[in-house]
Amino acid sequence: MVEQFLSGKVAIVTGANTGIGKAIAEELAKRGAKVVVNYRSHPERTDEMISAIKAAGGEAMGAQADVTHLDQLQAVVDQAVSSYGRLDIMVNNAGLETRTSVLDTSPEDYDRVLDVNLKSAFFGTQFAAKQMIKQGGGGRIINISSVHEDWPMPNNTAYCLSKGGVRMLTRTAGVELAPHGITMVNIGPGAVDTPINASYAGNKTLLDKLDAAIPLGRMAEPQEIASVAAFVASDGASYITATSIFADGGIMQSSPGL
């Protein structure tokens, strides 16, 4: 029997009907949380997710919103509270990348990446924290960041910049929110087998090169990131805040050994 150590908790996961967000929403629900699955498009995927969660004995609901529009993001928080009575766990997961360099990133690319990856995490943190303070009892804010909050990735400059911002958001806001009993942690995945890395999965040469750079020899599965998120959301992580946890298979420490 799966231990439901999040029973009675209410969670929001943004960008949650695909990839890492989907795995996190499903894992939190499996652990007993009532989960609000935020999504921007493909409502049919969300419906399938929620049906599967409920069939497994969990509880979840969908909340369509573009998290770069702050009124819509606030509405997701309001929907969680009106439906489930409170908010205990906020997972700022929505993200994208353009894989463009500093020389060829357009203003439109820049705005899109920073709005989704950083602005939504900043105000998702603000809106969730205000609700947590209002209701009392503290809470957990989890940002799905990246190894690239600290580790350069040439030709993906705006993405790295956005994740570097998320790093300092967590460090600074985590200190500000600590007196309220709200902890804040980044989870920094390395390469994960999700649609964002489909270019590797479909190209054996690229995939072999990537796997060779990872000490564990493979990309992560989304579930391996989700299990870290469930731990961070649990009482077992009650003394971890204003920092990042990397789940990267050791890639940040890899070396050619020259």
> pLDDT tens, 219-253?
999 999 999 999 999 999 999 999 999 999 999 99
Per-residue confidence band for 258, with pLDDT thresholds at 50, 70 and 90: low
pLDDT value for 204: 86
- pLDDT, tens digit (0-9, with 9 covering 90-100), for 176-206: 999 999 999 999 999 999 876 666 666 888 8
Does residue 83 carry a pLDDT above 60? yes
pLDDT value for 64: 98
Does residue 97 carry a pLDDT above 80? yes
- Tokens at residue 208, please? 């072999």
Q: Model pTM? A: 0.96
pLDDT value for 200: 65
Structural domains of the chain sorted by starting position, each given as residue range(s) with its CATH number in brackets: 10-246 (3.40.50.720)
Residues known to be catalytic: 159
- Tokens at residue 60, please? 């979840």
pLDDT value for 203: 84
In angstroms, rounded to a whole number, what is the distance separating the alpha carbons of residues 241 and 160?
22
Interval 25-50 mean pLDDT:
98
C-alpha 77: how far from chain center: 16
Does residue 156 carry a pLDDT above 70? yes
The DSSP line for 56-124 is TT-EEEEEE--TTSHHHHHHHHHHHHHHHS---EEEE---------TTT--HHHHHHHHIIIIIHHHHH
- 3-state SS class at 212: helix
Across the chain, mean pLDDT equals 96
